[in-house]
Amino acid sequence: MTNQAQDRKLWGGRFAEATADLVEQYNASVPFDQRLAEQDIRGSLAHVAMLGQVGILAADEVAQISEGLQAILTDIRAGHFEWRLDREDVHMNVEAALRDRIGPVAGKLHTARSRNDQVAVDFRLFVKEATLQLADLTRQLRSVMVQEAQRHLTSDQGQPVILPGYTHLQVAQPILLSHWFLAYAEMLKRDEGRFRDAAARMDESPLGSAALAGTPWPIDRHATAAALGFARPTANSLDGVGSRDFALEFLSACSILMAHLSRLSEETVLYSTFEFGFLTLPDSHTTGSSIMPQKKNPDVSELARGKSGRVFGNLMGLLTVVKGTPLAYNKDLQEDKEGVFDSFDTCSITLRLYAEMLPKSTWNADVTRAAAARGYSTATDLADHLARSGVPFREAHEVVGGLVGLASRSGRQLWELTDNEMRQAHPLLSAEVAGQLTVEASVAGRGSFGGTAPERVQAAVQAALSELDG
């Protein structure tokens, strides 16, 4: 970035004194909004073509301006463009470069528009593309989750891998690992839906709102909207230049996504500890310690958990920027961009990393199965057994609670209680009943819709696969 001797500002007409250096630094957005260069030039090309179509500019003026813009785009793509801080932002850098290149006719490009609608259209184009890209990446990770669910239906010697299901991080009931994967697949399905809903709502072009009130020029906003791939123009010029809720929706969909990935990360960190030993992460996606040679750290998951903080922060940041601004455009809105870029980058790489890492991870089925059997995880099944014989569930709960107390005081599992102890607790119980309390029987019994019984999970995998296919 250069800041050479200032040439005359594009808005310099009424100013007698040069801009102070600190103001220039404070005011400039080009260090970050140069990322909108493609969108800016696309917007200008659509605008100038329309100015030609409606007869505001002559055909040769349109041709000169368009060719100049194309040449600038080529320079920018090749990294040959000189971004100048004294030219403030991406819009004025491009426009001033156009003037350098084609002379005063460049000044006609800004007919019937303002930087306010220019930045609004550039940013919408960016956010819409980012939203659709994250929708696609979210879908890809969801597809990985479903494939992992399918793989772990048979990866334990032809049997489904069993995992302890937790509430309060205490072993609650056995579940299939595949069921756990599908839970995340469901969250990601809604995340994708949030991105797609937001993309549909933001699909309106603010170009032609001009500074705030529209323009006396006979512009064709429907034509520019269509040329830029928007469904329609925004209906109100104040709203067009002054609103940023499209970015807020993007940032909130990113935040909810990251909340989900952060929970996944927390479980990944926990399950890959020596103490749990459920999960072995691939060497390619873990890191070592500079002092402790034995360490293999789940840095990807820890960073994903940590980076959720900045993504939430970006949402809070923009909400706070927008909330106090009167209609329509205020320079405060220049603060809308960096958080959006950051959330987009953070979500993209996090989604990509998980899509790579999960298929390369190994679940240790013996360990997870043994863990699922501990902690009296089948006590509910015993209570259900009594209740099926007509004992009110509350009473059955009480009886089994007593048995769990007895077993835990004597360091035994439920199926290690004696026939006598069982019968004493309730005449309908016996050692034989207790012997049936396996984790396999427990999961097999949970055949309610949405439950963890293998045939239910199998059907859910099939449904998800065919939906992802279609």
List residues with catalytic annotation: 168, 289
CA angle in degrees (0–180, nearest 5) for 453-458-463:
125
Pairwise CA distance, residues 140 & 143, whole Å: 5
Report CA dihedral (283, 287, 291, 293) to the nearest 10 degrees.
Answer: -10
Q: Where are the beta strands (DSSP E) in 301-407?
A: 362-363
Q: Answer yes or no: are the C-beta atoms of 87 and 30 closer than 8 Å.
A: yes
33 makes contact with ligand ARG (CB under 6 A): yes
CA angle in degrees (0–180, nearest 5) for 466-145-379:
105
Contact window for ligand ARG (CB under 6 A) among 50-58, 330-338, 360-368, 375-383: 330-338
232, β-bridge pairs? 204
CA angle in degrees (0–180, nearest 5) for 240-244-246:
95
19 makes contact with ligand ARG (CB under 6 A): no
381 makes contact with ligand ARG (CB under 6 A): no
Nearer to ligand ARG, 46 or 439 (CB): 46
Nearer to ligand ARG, 29 or 252 (CB): 29
Nearer to ligand ARG, 33 or 192 (CB): 33
Q: Answer yes or no: are the C-beta atoms of 319 and 333 closer than 8 Å.
A: no
Give least dist CB 37 to ligand ARG, A. 13
Give least dist CB 123 to ligand ARG, A. 8
115 makes contact with ligand ARG (CB under 6 A): yes
Q: Answer yes or no: are the C-beta atoms of 242 and 213 closer than 8 Å.
A: no
- What would the x/- binding string for ligand ARG be over residues 189 to 228, using CB under 6 A? ----------------------------------------
Binds ligand ARG (CB under 6 A): choice among 29, 39, 224, 262: 29
Give least dist CB 98 to ligand ARG, A. 17
Which residue in 105, 174, 178 sits closest to 148, CA to CA? 178
**Of residues 273-292, those binding ligand ARG (CB under 6 A):** none
Q: Where are the beta strands (DSSP E) in 17-156?
A: none
Is residue 404 classed exposed, middle or buried when 0-12, 13-18 and 19+ CB atoms within 10 A define those classes? Answer: middle
Coil, strand or helix: which one is 164? Answer: strand
Q: Answer yes or no: are the C-beta atoms of 422 and 386 closer than 8 Å.
A: no
Total residues contacting ligand ARG by CB under 6 A comes to 10
167, β-bridge pairs? 170
- What would the x/- binding string for ligand ARG be over residues 145 to 184, using CB under 6 A? ----------------------------------------
Binds ligand ARG (CB under 6 A): choice among 153, 333, 373, 461: 333
| Largest Cα span, the chain | 101
Nearer to ligand ARG, 123 or 354 (CB): 123
Contact window for ligand ARG (CB under 6 A) among 165-173, 261-269, 331-339, 417-425: 331-339
Nearer to ligand ARG, 116 or 343 (CB): 116
Query: In terms of DSSP H, where are the helices of 202-298?
Result: 221-227, 237-242, 245-271
Binds ligand ARG (CB under 6 A): choice among 39, 44, 93, 116: 116
| CA 280 distance to own-chain centroid | 25
Nearer to ligand ARG, 36 or 347 (CB): 36
Q: Where are the beta strands (DSSP E) in 191-269?
A: 204-205, 232-233
Contact window for ligand ARG (CB under 6 A) among 44-52, 59-67, 325-333, 404-412: 325-333
Nearer to ligand ARG, 29 or 131 (CB): 29
Amino acid at 128: K
- What would the x/- binding string for ligand ARG be over residues 74 to 103, using CB under 6 A? ---------------x--------------
Amino acid at 322: V
Give least dist CB 87 to ligand ARG, A. 11
Nearer to ligand ARG, 33 or 421 (CB): 33
Which residue in 340, 349, 141 sits closest to 253, CA to CA? 340
Give least dist CB 169 to ligand ARG, A. 46
164, β-bridge pairs? 174
Give least dist CB 260 to ligand ARG, A. 31
Binds ligand ARG (CB under 6 A): choice among 50, 96, 97, 119: 119
Amino acid at 407: A
Nearer to ligand ARG, 114 or 380 (CB): 114
Which residue in 443, 437, 380, 398 sits closest to 152, CA to CA? 443
Residues within the interface to ligand ARG (CB under 6 A)? 29, 33, 89, 115-116, 119, 329, 331, 333-334
